[in-house]
Structure 1
């Protein structure tokens, strides 16, 4: 087996199975977003602000769908997973597990806020653009700033949660050494987005997330049998 999750850490096999399915569901959210943004939604790089706003309004329904899927639904699944992972870490220091869980729940709240801000901004843009283009530009930049800062560009909070999980997994056998190392690297990438605006960091964080969510999801499902 590539990973080890202590079966005695939780007496609820069905909870592990549900958490495993939730992790895989989160990976599917990521995959769907990559497909939508990679193959369907593509704003020209040299477009003016007015053209970007027009494109966003034209595809408002699809953009709102990505916020619901990638932030609201994802956050709900993540909330359950944070709770279950915290219960599985019973062998580790209570302080470390508590800090890990806090950052996990902070990530949930930030993602929910990002999704709802994104949807609200799109709706406000659609109502303001025709009558007050100047106000629409203010809404566009404010919405972009908030969503990028909270959950669309900086992955610091999620990175800390993952890094602490990797530390606990490595030190206490919650995860295998291989998965623990992968978790530590992924967490470090998330933390690095606080200090660098390089797009490659966000792309790597997202792509590695697909692998990580499926990996730990499969492990939890197997261990629940």
Structure 2
């Protein structure tokens, strides 16, 4: 097994862990006061700025860096037997990397700007907060079209090359299709994509660490 395949396997497992941690954090520990007034919301954001910044850094930036390693490792794995599909998948994979990392940096810079502005003009700060959230969701939080295309093309290449287990590729086809469907703004589709990615990343990581070739 070469080093890039090992690194790809480790990256995939850490991506699964990040997904799980995000679901746990926002499901059990993050109690955003959506119905509160502006002053209460800004107080909440100020009190939780550090933890939210860490979560954004982990969920977007670190995830994106790990994704870059995985995209390269899978391209290396597929490119000999399916060069065109592998290249097409890698293009969308790298675009996804950029969108995810950009989302995290925008989220943290925007959070700091909103908190600073809230002490001067609360109404403008709330407008800015809504704009930032909308952009972050559009780039990499609530729209998984690019990631879905990467996974779909990768799974098709996997079925052609037999470089990954058939059932894993079938799961990838399903989850990738759901990701593409998130172009329609339905939260349930995003959640299904996220949960499916946990299983897919975990399974893929184990496969890649066991052997560079199935």
Distance (Å, rounded) in 2 between the aligned partners of 1:48 and 1:134 = 11
Q: 2:156 aligns with which of 153, 160, 167?
A: 167
Are positions 1:138 and 2:133 aligned together? no
Decide whether the 8 Å contact of 2:82 with 2:160 is kept in 1: no
What does residue 35 of structure 2 align with?
Answer: 46
CA displacement at 1:57 relative to structure 2: 2.5
- Over aligned residues, Cα RMSD in angstroms? 1.6
Q: CA deviation at 1:97?
A: 1.4
Please list the CA deviations of residues 133-174 of structure 1 after superposition, one character each: whole Å capped at 9, or x if unmatched: 122012101111110000010001000000001111112212
Q: Distance in 2 between matches of 1:110 and 1:118?
A: 12
CA shift at 1:61, angstroms?
A: 1.0
Partner of 2:114: 125
Give the one of 56, 73, 76 matched to 2:62: 73
TM superposition shift of 1:203: 1.0
Give unpaired runs (5+ residues) of structure 1: 1-11
CA contact (8 A) 2:158 2:164 kept: yes
Q: TM-score, normalised by structure 2?
A: 0.94
Mark the CA change 1:49 to 1:102 in structure 2 (over 3 Å): closer, same or farther: farther
Alignment of structure 1 residues 75-224 onto 2, 5 Å:
75-194=64-183, 196-224=184-212
TM score, norm. by length of structure 1: 0.89
- Paired positions, count: 213
Q: Does 1:35 align with 2:17?
A: no
| 1:70 Cα deviation from its structure 2 partner | 0.5
Query: d(CA) in 2 for partners of 1:48 and 1:212?
Result: 40
**8 A contact 1:14–1:224 mirrored in 2:** no
Gaps of 5+ in 2: none
Q: Which has the higher contact order (CA 8 A, sep 6+)?
A: 1
| Mapped partners of 1:58, 1:192: distance in 2 | 36
